[in-house]
Amino acid sequence: MKSVLLSRFLILLPWVLIVIIMIDIDIKRTIWIPVAGRSSRALQQQQQQQQLQPRVARTGAPRVTQSQNQNQSALPVIYAITPTYTRPVQKAELTRLAQAFRQVARFHWIVVEDSTTRTDLVSRFLARSGVSFTHLHVYTPRRYKRAGMPRATEQRNLALTWLRQHRTKKDPGVVFFADDDNTYSLELFEEMRSTRGVSIWPVGFVGGRAYERPVVSGGKVVGWYTGWRPDRSFATDMAGFAVNLQVILANPRALFKRRGSQPGMQESDFLKQITKVTDLEPKASNCTRVLVWHTRTEKPHLTNEPSHRKDTIVIEV
* 84 makes contact with ligand UGA (CB under 6 A): yes
* 226 makes contact with ligand UGA (CB under 6 A): no
- DSSP bridge pairs for 282: 200
Least distance in angstroms from the C-beta of 212 to Mn ion: 13
Other beta carbons less than 10 A from residue 296's beta carbon: 14
Interface with ligand UGA in residues 59-78 (CB under 6 A): none
Return the DSSP state at 133. E
* 269 makes contact with ligand UGA (CB under 6 A): no
Least distance in angstroms from the C-beta of 171 to ligand UGA: 25
Here's the x/- map for ligand UGA, 141-180, by CB under 6 A: it reads as ----x----xxx--x-----------------------xx
| Active-site residue, from 267, 281, 298, 316 | 267
For residue 133, which of 86, 200, 183, 84 has the smallest C-alpha distance? 84
- DSSP bridge pairs for 80: 109, 176
Is 144 annotated in a binding site? The answer is: no
Interacting residue with ligand UGA among 132, 140, 199, 236 (CB under 6 A): 140
Least distance in angstroms from the C-beta of 179 to ligand UGA: 4
Sequence-ordered list of residues with C-beta below 8 angstroms from that of 75, at least 6 positions apart, any chain: 105, 106, 172, 193
Here's the x/- map for ligand UGA, 179-198, by CB under 6 A: it reads as xxx-----------------
Is 180 annotated in a binding site? The answer is: yes
Q: Which is nearer to ligand UGA, 155 or 246 (CB)?
A: 155
Cα–chain center distance at 8: 71
Least distance in angstroms from the C-beta of 184 to Mn ion: 13
Q: Which is nearer to ligand UGA, 29 or 145 (CB)?
A: 145
* 238 makes contact with ligand UGA (CB under 6 A): yes
Helices (H), the chain: 2-36, 41-58, 66-73, 90-101, 120-127, 153-166, 186-192, 245-250, 266-274, 284-287
Least distance in angstroms from the C-beta of 197 to ligand UGA: 21
Active site residue 190: no
Other beta carbons less than 10 A from residue 125's beta carbon: 20
DSSP, collapsed to helix, strand or coil, labels residue 243 as strand
For residue 194, which of 75, 274, 304 has the smallest C-alpha distance? 75
Is 83 annotated in a binding site? The answer is: yes
Is 294 annotated in a binding site? The answer is: yes
Other beta carbons less than 10 A from residue 53's beta carbon: 10
* 34 makes contact with ligand UGA (CB under 6 A): no
* 266 makes contact with ligand UGA (CB under 6 A): yes
Helices (H), 196-312: 245-250, 266-274, 284-287
Calculated CA dihedral for residues 200, 255, 166, 197, nearest 10 degrees? 30
Q: Which residues are catalytic?
A: 267
Q: Which residues are annotated as a binding site for UDP-alpha-D-glucuronate?
A: 83-85, 114, 151, 156, 179-181, 294-296
Chain residues that interact with ligand UGA, rule: CB under 6 A = 82-85, 114, 140, 145, 150-152, 155, 179-181, 237-238, 263-264, 266, 294, 296
Q: Which residues are annotated as a binding site for Mn(2+)?
A: 181
